[in-house]
Amino acid sequence: MKKKMNMKNIKIIMILAVLTMAWGCSDDDKSGQNEPQWTGSTFALSAKPEWKIDWTSDATQPDWQEPSVMQYECYMNMLVTLSNDIASYSTDNDRIAVFMGDECRGVSYPNKLSDGKVEFLLHVVGNGEEAGQPMELRYYCDGLHHLSVRKTSSFVPNNVLDRTYQSSLHVSEGSTKYPIFTSLTVILSKNLPFNENQGDMLAVFVGDECRGVGSANPEYFEGWKVMVYSRYAEETAQIRYYSAEKGGIYTILKTIKLNNNLQQEQISF
């Protein structure tokens, strides 16, 4: 009789144990759904980083052919100056060309000035009926093996030298490496594990690639402004913050999707 009772008790205990495990799993799943997926950050001691975007690409020097002037009845002049962020990479093998549709209408080579500036003077040819036609500026930087393609002014025939159309070209404009950009504002949480410092830095990374470095000016806006560059839409990125006071880098665990538009994110540490 005692043996039968022991067996019965064992069965009851086993059933209760299974039910307890089931309830426990159900509670864990429910609590996991209520908690945010990413919170906080990781921290690592570090010297002040030299974060910057690597614009180096694998473009080869294009074979742009200068058009035959005799085939066109009018022209316009364009003067393009490289901004400082790309002028230091310029070599004698740089090229700039202007296209109307698929036709090359002007090619120019670098002219390095004594003050370090680099200019390109373009003689763009066309016909009278093409006045107002949109044009495209293409620039090959030999030092970076980088190609930029962007819209430029419309064709205005019979320009003279003292009415040259002038523009400046930045490395990010029309980049074929990072063709998409997002204007990002990052707001820091109120309870910070450090005191903000002028030596602090903020950057946005896709994997280990720096895609944008922020700037902060509390007199004009709250938070940090970052122009973030992407290979394609909806790339997943993370924010890193260097604290000068702590002497290290916080990597924010929350991930963001770059939306190719104006975007605001609030981060916590």
pLDDT per position as a tens digit, 194-219:
999 999 999 999 999 999 999 987 66
Q: Are 142 and 131 in contact (CB under 8 A)?
A: no
Q: How high is the pLDDT of residue 17? A: 43
Q: Are 221 and 188 in contact (CB under 8 A)?
A: no
pLDDT in tens, 49-102: 999 999 999 999 999 999 998 999 999 999 999 999 899 999 999 999 999 999
CA distance 118 to 87: 6
What does the domain layout of the chain look like in residue ranges? 41-53+178-267, 69-169
CA torsion sign for 207, 221, 169, 78 is positive
pTM for the full model? 0.78
Domains 41-53+178-267 and 69-169 share a fold: yes
φ, ψ of residue 207 to 5 degrees: the values are 65, -125
* Coil vs helix vs strand at 196: coil
* Coil vs helix vs strand at 162: helix
For residue 93, give the DSSP letter.
Answer: T
- How confident is the model over 107-134, as a mean pLDDT? 94
- How confident is the model over 240-269, as a mean pLDDT? 94
CA distance 201 to 52: 11
pLDDT in tens, 255-266: 999 988 899 999
Q: How high is the pLDDT of residue 219? A: 66
CATH class for domain 69-169? mainly beta
Task: Kindly list the distances between the CA atom of residue 11 and the CA atoms of 5, 6, 15, 17, 22, in Å, as whole numbers in the listed order.
Answer: 10, 9, 6, 10, 17
β-bridge mates for residue 124, sequence order: 76
* Architecture in CATH of 41-53+178-267: Sandwich (2.60)
